[in-house]
Amino acid sequence: MLTRADSLSEKDSEEKEPATALLWTYYYAAQHYDYLGCTAKALDLINAAIEHTPTLIELFVAKARIYKHAGDIHEALRFLDEAQALDTADRYINSKCAKYMLRGNLIKEAEDMCAKFTREGVSAVENLNEMQCMWFQTECAMAYQRLGKWGEALKKCHEVDRHFSEIMEDQFDFHTYCMRKMTLRAYVSLLRLEDVLRAHPFYFKAARVAIQVYLQLHDHPVAETEAAEEINTGVSLLPSLTLPATDYACAIKGKRWSGNAYASVSFVDDPIVWKAGKMIVRFMQAAQPH
């Protein structure tokens, strides 16, 4: 209707819609058809929108999203990179572009993209780890897993695990402060958050990758020396896995741990499987109703 009469009214009217009305109609209609799974129709509409206004960043982001939903991550990355080139100072587009690069297993390119907004004099990877940028680390772990770089994947997973351990430890700084300032409602909310902290989606993603990698190493041990050294690099970063004898015995029998979680692991004498089981138990502890 807009293309024929420049108006959304069915009646004859001299009042015309603004020039951008057609543009945003194309934009939202394309997303609607993308949601319905009609990729061809969605692409036709978003291409019409780009032809109408070829400098609007949101159009290229939408087109990239359509290709991502269609399963073509590399084509999606091409259009998102084009959107990022239109405004290199946009941190959101920069982050989305880096995320798509990781989805396409382009880890070095993603690090270079993030380096545009990280602190000077420090590598992007170190700065992102210091800032606890867990979306980057989880995506990076999954990319390394797809590439078969098990040691690097485990390293990223346990960086995420370390972030959650630091959050747990940081709560002690607030105990005396909250009691002194009488911010008791916020304090109770904090305590309840700590109970379910490791049920967070970022921890779940990292734990899932770590568990899959450990089971992969258990089922298909690495024989090559260089590859084995790479695996050991990742494993050496793990925290101590020494547990009380009672907890270890309960885990073997599949009974309740002192940490109030179940461990249905019958072969925990294998260190690799035990590491995978520990990640499972940590998540189960957080997922248990409190």
Domain boundaries, the chain: 1-8+17-130, 132-290
φ/ψ (deg, to 5) at 15? -75, 125
Model confidence at 253, pLDDT cuts 50, 70, 90, reads very low
**CB neighbour burial string for 174-201, b if at least 16 within 10 angstroms, e if fewer:** eeeebeeeeeeeebeeeeeeeeebbebe
In tens, the pLDDT along 154-192 reads 999 999 999 999 988 888 877 778 878 777 888 888 888
Contact between 242 and 275 (Cβ < 8 Å): no
The pLDDT value recorded for residue 7 is: 55
More confident residue, 7 or 236: 7
CA–CA distances in Å: residue 161 to residues 199, 204, 209, 227: 12, 10, 12, 24
The pLDDT value recorded for residue 270 is: 60
CA–CA distances in Å: residue 83 to residues 76, 90, 101, 153: 11, 10, 14, 29
The pLDDT value recorded for residue 282 is: 66
In tens, the pLDDT along 75-111 reads 999 999 999 989 888 899 999 999 999 999 999 999 9
CB under 8 Å to 27, separation ≥6 — which residues? 45, 46, 49, 58, 59, 62
Element holding 162 (H helix, E strand): helix 150-170
Q: Which of 153, 137, 126 is nearest to 230 (CA)?
A: 153
CA–CA distances in Å: residue 58 to residues 17, 91, 99: 21, 14, 17
Please calculate the CA angle 227-204-81 and round it to the nearest 5 degrees: 75
Please calculate the CA angle 105-207-275 and round it to the nearest 5 degrees: 115
The pLDDT value recorded for residue 221 is: 80
Which DSSP string do the residues of 34-56 spell out, in sequence order? HHHT-HHHHHHHHHHHHHH-TT-
CA 189 to chain CA centroid, nearest Å = 25
Q: How far apart are CA 258 and CA 254, in angstroms?
A: 12
CB under 8 Å to 52, separation ≥6 — which residues? 22, 23, 26
Q: How far apart are CA 224 and CA 106, in angstroms?
A: 25
Across 254-266, average pLDDT: 43
Looking at this protein, which amino acid is placed at residue 271? P
Average pLDDT of the chain is 78
Looking at this protein, which amino acid is placed at residue 234? G
Residue 262, strand partner residues: 256
Instruction: Tell me which CATH code domain 1-8+17-130 carries.
Output: 1.25.40.10
**Structure token pair of residue 134:** 């867990």
CA–CA distances in Å: residue 184 to residues 17, 156, 209: 54, 36, 37
Q: Which of 271, 280, 281 is nearest to 235 (CA)?
A: 271
The pLDDT value recorded for residue 239 is: 37
